[in-house]
């Protein structure tokens, strides 16, 4: 096996679930976590506070030593999108040239508006950039429920080998070379899940939710294609598949956040320090700016960003979308 030793950077629920998948696939896994309690709990009892009620059924070596974790054949970077540049910078002194680094976060970088893969290429120029994305909840993956994802890399053989390294009875990775499409799908689905949650919280009906998912997918596709993505990627796991999951289940943090907003919750209170991270909140304004840069209309993303910035109320946002000029669907 080309990638026998897998390092996972990020001891949250998703990082731990992916570490467990790699261990189930027969790989030797080191998991880096900053929290000493998480490290000791995994090593002592095969449990973690990040996945309550789940016992890790394969051996994983947790560590607080970043250098130890990235001394591997391939590294999964599983930390929030806005920490990608900082974490990659911390990894740089320890990472061997040519080591594949697989991005497992979904978002766009604030300030630069760059794809996370581009951020990684800047920060770790000697690494081979790859991306893992698709419809997957950490708890489902950790429990061994059947899941399929996309693993993308610019080099087809690398994507194939990474997929083989992570494949097990409960996870089926499909390989791809479309880094742009996989990243845009993962980033925008978080934004689009927020208004779907608002619809549920406001009691606006399943018809409205279905319409928003369909029109949101059209926005996601327009932007991704303008940036060079392939249509097949967008209609696959990391595009439509991930959007359907995230925009239809309150298990999604983004949709759950939208539900609370729809019920009248304050955005400021829901995003206050100490609350759960909602990636779509950070991605929405960046996506709007990226759309303007690419000359692509993103009306749903725009009203989401306006609601989050307290420029529009939920009712005004709905009116804005429903009163847009009529047009042909295609």
Candidates 327, 320, 325; CA nearest to 304 is 320
- Please identify, among 141, 158, 177, the residue that sits at the C-terminal boundary of a domain: 177
Cα distance between residue 93 and residue 295, in whole Å: 39
7: which 2 tokens?
């390092």
Cα distance between residue 320 and residue 326, in whole Å: 13
Cα distance between residue 21 and residue 326, in whole Å: 47
Candidates 140, 249, 152, 267; CA nearest to 193 is 249
Assess whether 151 and 259 both reside in one domain: no
Candidates 131, 144, 136; CA nearest to 104 is 131
Per-residue pLDDT tens for 95-123? 999 999 999 999 999 989 999 999 999 99
Assess whether 126 and 16 both reside in one domain: yes
Number of domains in the chain: 2
Assess whether 168 and 232 both reside in one domain: no
Cα distance between residue 155 and residue 29, in whole Å: 24
Catalytic residue among 106, 114, 189, 225: 189
List of residues 6+ apart from 145 with CB closer than 8 A:
170
Q: What is the pTM of this model?
A: 0.95
Assess whether 300 and 190 both reside in one domain: yes
Q: In the chain, which stretches have pLDDT less than 70?
A: 1
Range of the domain at 95: 5-177
Assess whether 123 and 147 both reside in one domain: yes
For residue 54, tell me if it sits in a domain: yes
Assess whether 291 and 310 both reside in one domain: yes
For residue 25, tell me if it sits in a domain: yes
Cα distance between residue 43 and residue 48, in whole Å: 9
Cα distance between residue 167 and residue 275, in whole Å: 33
User: How much is the pLDDT for 330?
Assistant: 84
The CATH number assigned to the domain holding 129 equals 3.40.50.720
Q: Has 189 been annotated as catalytic?
A: yes
The CATH number assigned to the domain holding 290 equals 1.10.1040.10
Per-residue pLDDT tens for 22-38? 999 999 999 999 999 99
User: How much is the pLDDT for 259?
Assistant: 98
Assess whether 96 and 137 both reside in one domain: yes
Assess whether 185 and 172 both reside in one domain: no
Assess whether 75 and 193 both reside in one domain: no
């Amino acid at each position: 096996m080309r990638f026998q030793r897998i390092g996972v950077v990020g001891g949250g629920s998703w990082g731990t679930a992916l570490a467990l998948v790699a261990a189930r696939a027969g790989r030797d896994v080191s998991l880096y976590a900053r929290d000493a309690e998480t490290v000791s709990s995994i090593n002592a009892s095969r449990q973690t506070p990040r996945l309550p009620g789940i016992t890790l059924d394969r051996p994983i070596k947790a560590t607080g030593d970043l250098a130890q974790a990235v001394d591997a054949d391939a590294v999964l970077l599983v930390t929030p999108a806005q920490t990608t540049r900082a974490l990659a910078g911390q990894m740089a002194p320890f990472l061997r040239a040519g080591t594949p680094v697989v991005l497992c976060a979904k978002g766009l970088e604030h300030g630069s508006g760059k794809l996370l893969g581009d951020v990684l290429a800047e920060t770790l120029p000697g690494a081979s950039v790859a991306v893992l994305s698709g419809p997957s909840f950490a708890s489902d993956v950790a429990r061994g429920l059947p899941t399929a994802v996309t693993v993308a890399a610019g080099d087809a053989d690398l994507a194939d080998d990474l997929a083989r390294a992570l494949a097990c009875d409960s996870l089926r990775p499909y390989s791809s070379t479309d880094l742009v499409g996989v990243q845009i799908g993962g980033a925008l689905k978080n934004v689009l899940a927020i208004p779907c949650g608002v619809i549920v919280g406001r009691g606006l009906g399943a018809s409205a939710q279905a319409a928003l998912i369909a029109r949101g997918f059209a926005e996601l596709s327009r932007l991704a294609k303008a940036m060079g993505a392939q249509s097949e990627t967008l209609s696959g796991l990391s595009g439509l598949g991930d959007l359907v999951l995230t925009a239809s289940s309150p298990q999604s943090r983004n949709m759950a956040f939208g539900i609370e907003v729809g019920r009248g919750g304050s955005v400021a209170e829901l995003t206050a320090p100490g609350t759960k991270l909602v990636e779509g909140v950070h991605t929405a304004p960046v996506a709007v700016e990226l759309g303007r840069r690419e000359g692509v209309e993103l009306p749903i993303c725009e009203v989401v960003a306006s609601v989050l910035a307290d420029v529009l109320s939920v009712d005004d946002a709905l009116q804005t979308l429903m009163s847009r000029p009529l047009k042909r669907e295609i």
